[in-house]
Amino acid sequence: MKINNIDVEAAIKNVQALLEKDKALTPALKAALDVLLLLVTLLLVTLLINQKGLNSKNSSIPPASDPNRKKVSKAKSARKPGGQKGSKGTTLAKVDNPDEVIDLLIDRRTLPKGVSFKAAGYETRQEIGMTISRFVTEYRADVLEDSQGHRFTGTFPEALKRPVQYGNNIKAYSVYKCQFQLVPVDRVRDHFADQMGVPVSAGSICNVNLQAYNGLGRFEDWAKQQLIASSVMHADETD
């Protein structure tokens, strides 16, 4: 970068080298001088741009730095807000098997006097919510003991190796939150603790993700072979 045949860039680098060698400068003063050098560099770049008439069309300068840049307003779309014609929307619909039914009985005292009534069915309205809670399953293996003190114990499911451990649904949910939703491990841990009352350490979440990774190794190899053998991979946005 030269202005009036002066190599400004070389001069700035020389000053920076001298500042590095000067051990008498305090850290605060050195930081202040670095900021001043940065400001000088920016001012000189701006001056050079104005002198040479550089813009985004004849250099690598971004369009936002062009002097007297005209702002082009986007044309208003003719489409109406909301879902467009032909798009498939999602409509909230009633379910056939609600988890809880609350009967709302009419207070008979509010009915007209001297008139007989008969049951004519009911009207329904549904409120769809959700529950987030811990669900613990305890397996109790039967224990028998003979007259000689020999004990015989029922067989636990093969996956249960410890007195208490995480179930597959917690493991799968951990992987889903981390890999599909891209939620950081610490936030997944907080979610389990705050919303479900389940203490899951960050290390356990990482181990579960590693277990899923190793379990998908054969599928990954198979998928790669299928892609290699495919005539079209659909790897870009072209038709």
18, 33, 62 - which closes a domain: 62
User: Is residue 147 included in any domain, yes or no?
Assistant: no
- Whether pTM exceeds 0.85: no
Whole-number percent of the chain with pLDDT over 90? 32
Contact in structure between 198 and 136 (CB atoms under 8 Å): no
Q: Tell me: the pLDDT tens digits for 222-231?
A: 988 988 888 8
Which residue bears the tokens 């389990």? 192
Give the model confidence (pLDDT) of 87-121 as tens digits: 776 778 889 999 899 999 898 888 888 888 888 88
Question: Domain boundary residue among 46, 62, 78?
Answer: 62
Beta strands in the chain (DSSP E): 2-3, 6-7, 143-145, 151-153
Candidates 116, 211, 113; CA nearest to 170 is 211
Instruction: Decide if 237 is inside a domain.
Output: no
188, 181 Cβ separation under 8 angstroms: no
8 A C-beta contact, residue 2 and residue 8:
yes
Task: Examine residue 77 and state whether it is found in any structural domain, yes or no.
Answer: no
> Residue 143 pairs with which residues in a beta bridge?
153
Q: Is residue 31 part of a domain?
A: yes
**Residue 215 maps to a domain:** yes
Residue among 60, 13, 59 at smallest CA distance from 37 = 13
Q: Is residue 210 part of a domain?
A: yes
Considering its fold, how many domains does the chain have in total? 2
Domain end marker among 28, 47, 62: 62
Expressed as residue numbers, the domain containing 44 is 2-62
